[in-house]
A and B are shown apart, each in its own frame.
Chain A
Amino acid sequence: MKKPLRYAIIGSGAAGTEAACQLRLRDPESEITVITASKLQFISRYDLPRVFEGVDDWRELLVYPPEFYEDNRITVRRNTWVAGVNPRENKLNFRHKEEMSYDKLLVASGGGGYMPEALREFLPYMNPFSTFSNAARLRDSLGKKGKVLMLGSDMVGLDLARYLTSAGHDVTVYANELLFWPHEIKPEDTAPYVKALETMGIKVVFGRKPVAVEPVNSSSKAGKYTRRLVFEKGKAELANVVMPFYGLMPALDFMIGANVDIERGLLVNPELKTTNDRIWAAGDVCQIWSPEENRYSFYYGWNNVKEMGHLAAHNMTGDNREIKTAQTNELKITKKGELHSPYWEHD
């Protein structure tokens, strides 16, 4: 009897989970293992703002119920960190000193929030927003009518900002040139889009460079606020939370030494294969070669990411299809004068 193939997928987001589903369909006898640092099964980032609509139980946010993984024999190793990939022995090394063998590997580890070097030391005083626990903590920190200061911001941050303002919170964005990232808007063209944000109740401030974030003693004059954002030249602003949104940084540290090409992301051909025959990549982690543009590019957005997972699974099981973008990149202003981005759309 033929030994079933062992597929390992690093990352349980939209790309990784879609790939696992497709692999099960295309190779019913295979062993499929998804590795994720998350404690929970797949929750879409796009659903996290629902905690501000009163969703208190994370189980309501699961994209697939636990039975789905059992029924499809997809093993999800949660709370597990990949420390390295050994391409010669086709093994993953976990942080907890266990190895796991694979026949084919898909890297779909996504991206973490990028943080400028100068602000990294203040991370403990900032609120990230990528997991359910992040969302719940944010909700608890804000209480009713809380004040949020967003640094940099990008379309992920602005997506959250619109939910926060709808929930009655006060949101100010201290913007830089990447305000609408990954949309590429020239500085001279940003005015109508900024106005659209203000129509949505989001305040946008340019030209203030944050240099520090400090905790504030609640018994001080700060009142209900617990954070102080300090700008260049000493001015400061108080708030309940400070959140960084400086774009995404592919989560790839564990791939160093894996004998694959890395630039900012993991470099893959249009079939999503890396320079290693047994390793593919999908989602925010990969930079895909575009023969037309003669460069490597990232394809962001739910639909693109999901499509990449789908395609990678097909190519890992014998197809040779090339990626095509599954969505537009056009930033729009609605009839109500509000901003709308295709990067906010999801299933």
Chain B
Amino acid sequence: MYRSFISLRYLVARPTNLIGVVGIFVAVGALILILSIMTGFLEESRRTIRGSLSDIIVEPYFHGFVPGEAIPDRPGPMLQTLRGLDGVRAAAPRLQWAGIITQSGPDADKFQQIFSSSTHASLLVAELVGVDVLTPWRVAAPAIALSTRARAWVAPDFRIQDEFDATELMGALRRVAEDEDKTQDPDDELTELFGRPRAPVHNPLFPFQPPPEYVRNGRPLASCIVGKQLFRSLGLARGDVLEIGTVVPSKEKGWNLNNRRFVIAGTFQSRDNEMDAARIYVARSELADFLGDSKTFSQTLVRLENYERDGERLVREIRETLEERNLILGGLNARQEVRTWEQFRINVLRAIENERVLMGIMLSLVLVVAGFTIFAILSMMVTEKRRDIGILCALGATPRGVLDLFLLIAFWDAIVGATLGTVVGVWSAIEIDSIERWLSSALNVQIFNRNVYLFDHIPSVVQPVWVGTIVLGAFLCSLLFAAIPAWRASRLDPLVALRYE
């Protein structure tokens, strides 16, 4: 009984103990807040990547084939095979190639200036992505006319629309349309300089339709959809013409230099800034034509009915089936050729996960510092309370009881500190967005730049398991650091204290 009674009395009567409590409080609160934010980033990134990526990506190793045994260079057989599998909702081919922006005409000087600046030089190289999209002449006109007028995102129930949904472009276009209503940041210099950063495509159902601003002059041009960042940095506008050059393999000459002009039909916005700064979407048939029909597809994107349920099974099944039918190289390469979205973006996800672990380790040091504080305070207290220890022994306390008494002081420190830390940590993790906004306006500094990150809010997810682990860690740390002074107290000779005043 006396252990808890006296330890509590010491805790209350001695304000220095509060330093230990504050240490634990800060450590637990900071750990919960930061780990919640990191977990939020991780989950939000997964969601973002998930939202813009199909479930399974098939990327055949064309170059690995022995001549004569080459897999078909048209996507037809692969699509047919994939669509025939149970659990596959849609499969769409995609063609990727690299291009260089080679603007000529009246804008040439401006572009040269942009590209010669070191900060924008990377914009010169574009990632060309060809996707299959509904074209007006392939579907019944009345249904499209209706949905176009309503600007609704209700997709007509056509197989091809499902396939389009499997591409990243669908989500990226939807995001532009959704963001269109949101107010622009008036302080944004780029907006002032280059105008609106977003230009949604005129008709999202037929994104490669020429925009109304386009004035046809001679041969009609194919349309392209440019990433938001690229669009903004180059100061483009919907209806502008963009000239792109590329190099394609040729049987006769080795390499051919091609270039072509595209009309800008609008912008897309993925949640990956790098993608938005480099990618240009065109219709796959146009890109294949631009490349001289040397390639018609490089990837096949697969959307499943239920990824969580069938994902693992279908990845294996797809590998086996495609290998059996000689549609991928297979063997040891099969693992790389057929990947889930998580495996495809594993580096990004791993990087965030690593960051989370690193932050956790760094912040655990705060806990260790708090532990040291408890150690210092208790050591001081044991020296100071030598006489009390002697008195307690004379009254019948055992060394074990004295040990417990001092351990209990650390235990109370941990209870009070960890409780306060958990409450404040969880609360601030939940309210971090409004706290950041308030702090930003109070300090007149933008703490979280919503234009730089992928998200328009600070994501945070409080995981009870983590909170529990942190609290447990706080207790262990406190008790561990308290053990040495407590043990010293229990080994004190009570007589030394009792003999003299």
Report whether chain A binds chain B. Answer: no
